[in-house]
Amino acid sequence: MAITITRADVKRKCMIPSTETTYDSDIDSLISEMQPSIEFTIAESYLSDTGNLRLQSVLKLGVLEVISGEFLQQLYRESGASEAIKVGGLTVGAPPEHGARLIQQGMERLRPFRKAIDGLADEPGISVSTGSTDRTFTAEQMRDW
């Protein structure tokens, strides 16, 4: 892997004290599970351009945001983590959308560097082959159908 994401990076992004060790194995597992698949979506020309430190910093930040966001989402799903107290207009509790926003932010940051296959995700469609005719229905056509 060209990009290095550490447990300390995730803890810092999630505002978890470095001395807190409760989630260390969870964070390590999440990094080893997610980082290769995220890097797979990035074009090799960008990953291998290790001399461009600014580019590598942008890629690392995007990957870190996605992994950290997923970790926050997992924390939110833990028993008792999603409880909030609301009095008047004041709500005390973890905002459930923080992790999702962080994931979205990381994916947006990585978007310009994604492999060409990413275009397929922007325009979902259905391909149909009947006899000698091939036809692709785009998302727009499917909505009107």
Report the distance separating Cα 109 and Cα 61, nearest Å.
8
Which tens digits make up the pLDDT trace of 26-52?
Answer: 999 999 999 999 999 999 999 999 999
Q: Is the dihedral of CA 105, 106, 109, 115 positive or negative?
A: negative
Please indicate, yes or no, whether the overall pTM of this predicted structure exceeds 0.85. Answer: no
Task: Quote the percentage of the chain above a pLDDT of 70.
Answer: 72
Is 102 a residue whose pLDDT tops 90?
yes
Does 105 score more than 90 pLDDT?
yes
* Residues forming beta bridges with residue 128, ordered by sequence position: 135
Residue 129 pLDDT > 50:
no
Distance of CA 64 to the CA centre of its chain: 8
Q: How many CB atoms lie within 10 A of CB 44?
A: 11
Q: What residues does each domain of the chain span?
A: 7-114
C-alpha dihedral over 44, 46, 50, 54, to 10 degrees?
-160
Q: State residue 87's pLDDT score.
A: 79
Per-residue pLDDT of 61-93, as tens digits, reads 999 999 999 999 998 876 665 566 777 877 776
Question: Residue 41: CB partners within 8 Å, gap ≥ 6?
Answer: 110, 114, 115, 118
